[in-house]
Each structure stands twice: as C-alpha cells, then as structure tokens.
Amino acid sequence: FSISFINAGLGLCIGVSFWAMGLPNAALWGVAAALLNFVPYAGAVAGMALTAFIAFIAFDDLTRVLAVPAIYFFWNLIESQFVTPSILGRRHTLNAAIVFLSIVFWGWMWGVIGAVLAVPILVIMNTCFAQIEGLRKFSIFIDGSPTPGPHPDGSHLPD
C-alpha cells in the first residue's frame, strides 16, 4: 500500500514535469511511470527509454530531447534513494538507513528479486530477533527505537 502511494507520487511528479516541458500526453507518461516503478530497475530503464523516444519524436531541440529522460532519472533517483527508504523505514518502524542497506545488500546478492524481497526479509529478521532473548538488541537496532533505559533489575532489555 505504501509503495502504491510512493509510485503515485512519482508518477505525479514526472507527469507535471513533462507537462511543464510541453511533452505530449504528459499525464499518460506520469501514469506509465507510476506503473513501471513497480518493477525495480527495469521499470525505470524502460520508462526513461520510452520517454526519450517520445521526446525524440516530439521535440526538434536536442537539449529538450535529452532533458526528458534526465528529468525522469532525477525523479526516480529522488524516489528510490530518499523517499522510499524513508517512508518504508517509518511505516514498518525500521531504521531508514538499515532499510537502504538491506535493499543494497539483497539487490547485490540476488539482483532484482533481492531488491524486491529486501524489506520483507528485514521485517522477518526483526520479528525473529525481537522474540529471541539474546538477539533483542539487534531488533532494537533494526527498528530504530531509542535504547531503553535500565530496568529495575539492572538489565537494558525491554520487557
């Protein structure tokens, strides 16, 4: 659900930017960007390629032609590197930096599938760590909650 809203926001930003540039059917390309963003990596590449092709047909000026995929890349970069890790980090009560590192790690290990599965793997690990007494400190680190103060019995673990 969170990803759907993020993708809709990306599509809106791209659509408005293309409309401001005068690209024909800007709303269509905004919707396409939102839908293509559900496919990690390949969706962004396909969106940039399609809009570059359309810009090549629509514009005579090479600067405007090159600006279209650059704008697509810019908005996608902002979304993928800052917005998504931040929102998913808050939404799933996970540390945003850990979410980002998880996406990078699992994407490196397994490619697109790893990037898609990175956050669910992190949530499962966090849940398991929270249930195992010796690993609760890792769960506290992953979910980004502040370190709890000492308990009356002198321990630092949550109840």
- Give the residue from 41, 67, 91 where a domain finishes: 91
Residues 98 and 32 in one domain: no
Asked which of 70, 91, 112 is the last residue of a domain, the reply is: 91
pLDDT tens digit string along 23-47?
999 999 999 999 999 887 888 999 9
Q: Are both 102 and 85 inside the same structural domain?
A: no
Cα 135 to chain centroid distance, Å, stands at 28
Same domain for 115 and 131? yes
Q: Are residues 78 and 14 in the same domain?
A: yes
* pTM > 0.75: no
- Give the pLDDT of residue 91: 60
Same domain, 5 and 82: yes
> Which pLDDT band, with edges at 50, 70 and 90, does 147 fall under?
low
Residues 18 and 85 in one domain: yes
Q: What is the pLDDT of residue 92?
A: 59
48, two tokens: 């940039």
Instruction: Specify the pLDDT at position 151.
Output: 47
Does residue 65 register a pLDDT over 90?
Answer: yes
- At residue 3, what are phi and psi to the nearest 5 degrees? -60, -40
Same domain for 72 and 10? yes
Mean pLDDT of the chain: 85
- CA distances (Å), 89 to each of 36, 82, 83, 109, 122, in order? 22, 11, 10, 21, 11
Whether 85 and 107 map to the same domain: the answer is no
Q: Answer whether residue 156 shows pLDDT above 80.
A: no
Which domain, by its residues, includes 76?
1-91
Per-residue pLDDT band for 113 (boundaries 50, 70, 90) equals confident
What does the angle CA 117 – CA 122 – CA 79 come to, to the nearest 5 degrees? 65
Say how far apart CA 99 and CA 143 lie, in whole Å. 10
In terms of domains, do 85 and 109 share one?
A: no
Domain boundary among 91, 107, 127: 91
- 54 in the same domain as 129: no
The half-sphere exposure of 116 on its side-chain side, counting CA atoms within 13 A, is: 10
83, 98: one domain: no
Q: Same domain, yes or no, for 74 and 135?
A: no
User: Tokens 């929102």, residue?
Assistant: 87
Separation in Å, CA 142 to CA 89, 90, 96, 107, 117: 10, 12, 9, 18, 16
Give the total number of structural domains in the chain.
2
pLDDT tens profile 95-110: 778 888 898 999 899 8
Tokens of 159: 């109840």
Most confident range, picked from 57-71, 92-106, 127-141: 57-71
Work out the percent of the chain whose per-residue pLDDT is above 90: 43
